[in-house]
Amino acid sequence: MSPGTRPLVLGNWKMSLTGTEAAVYVRSLLPRLGSPADREIAVAPPFTALAAVAAQLKGSTVKLAAQDLFWEDEGPYTGEISGVMLQDAGVTYVLVAHSERRRHLEENDRLASLKMRAALRSGLCPILCVGEDEAERAAGRAERVVRTQLALGLEGVGPGEASRVHVAYEPVWAIGTGRAATAGQAAEMHTLIRLELRSLFKTGAAAVRILYGGSVTPQNVDELMGSPGVDGVLVGGASLKAEEFARIAAYRVAR
């Protein structure tokens, strides 16, 4: 973990739970989470459940996140959701260029850059997702892929905005497969990301939290969070099970 950084644990529900189901789930989850002061917790429901979840989170310390946004603030873009709308809905964090959107919807680094700037413009804290797939890692290209995604995705973002920027390293080969990166692999890539951020943001890079995402479970979270440079976790499937997500949020790092 980076010195002085308050970690972030964020649950990405993906395309799961209706508004009614989400409200029931949050009511079950909140008592299990408590109100820890040394870490931040957030959940990212689908757009249709944002209002229901926001209502349940009132009075709690858990933050609301969104899974995506459009790169314009308003206009003739049928089916899209702007950062302005998300901010108005009570959203704090928003994922940008998640690997599933890169893979299934062909989102690229140019769109990631536009979305990062739209999020910042709207007062949100964007989380840029980067990571290599299995073939790229096997070919020895993992570092090059991540560096490129960072450089292009953060293009146009100034050092003065770095304190609101987050990065999530999510090795594509680990997402939904049960094959999380080892603590050593995570630490190695998080170190590379931090160096790249320093080249982009200079001293402002110290304020950027770098999360790990990819088959995070109650069984591996303690080791992952104890890895150098890991400032939080982006949780997928396990965030849909209240007991599992609560245990992840209550990770324990050996001193």
Which positions ≥6 away from 150 have C-beta within 8 Å? Answer: 128, 130, 167, 193, 196, 197, 200
Q: Which residue is it, tokens 């980076």?
A: 2
Residue 170 region by backbone torsions, left for phi larger than 0, else alpha for psi between -120 and 50, else beta = beta
40-44 and 93-96 beta bridge pairing? unpaired
For residue 40, the cross-strand partners are: 8
Q: Which residue is it, tokens 């690997």?
A: 99
Is 155 catalytic? The answer is no
- Please pick, among 98, 132, 136, 161, the residue that the annotation labels catalytic: 98
pLDDT in tens, 146-181: 999 999 999 999 999 999 999 999 998 877 777 878
CB 152 within 8 A of CB 114: no
Is 170 catalytic? The answer is yes
Q: What is the pLDDT of residue 1?
A: 58
CB 230 within 8 A of CB 6: no
Q: Which two tokens stand for residue 215?
A: 């088959």
232-235 and 209-213 beta bridge pairing? parallel
pLDDT in tens, 2-58: 655 799 999 999 999 999 999 999 999 999 999 999 999 999 999 999 999 999 999
Which positions ≥6 away from 110 have C-beta within 8 Å? Answer: 152
Q: What's the mean pLDDT in 187-194?
A: 96
A 10 A CB-CB count for 47 gives: 15
The domains of the chain are located at 8-249
- Please pick, among 170, 190, 196, 244, the residue that the annotation labels catalytic: 170
Closest Cα partner for 93 from 57, 64, 62?
64
The answer, yes or no, to whether residue 113 has pLDDT greater than 60, is: yes
- DSSP tag of 39: S
CATH class of 8-249: alpha beta
Q: What's the mean pLDDT in 185-209?
A: 95
Question: Treating both helix axes as pointing N-terminal to C-terminal, what angle do 142-153 and 109-121 enclose, rounded to 10 degrees?
Answer: 40
CB 248 within 8 A of CB 238: yes
pLDDT in tens, 215-251: 999 999 999 999 999 999 999 999 999 999 999 999 9
Type of residue at 254: A
Give pTM, 2 decimals: 0.96
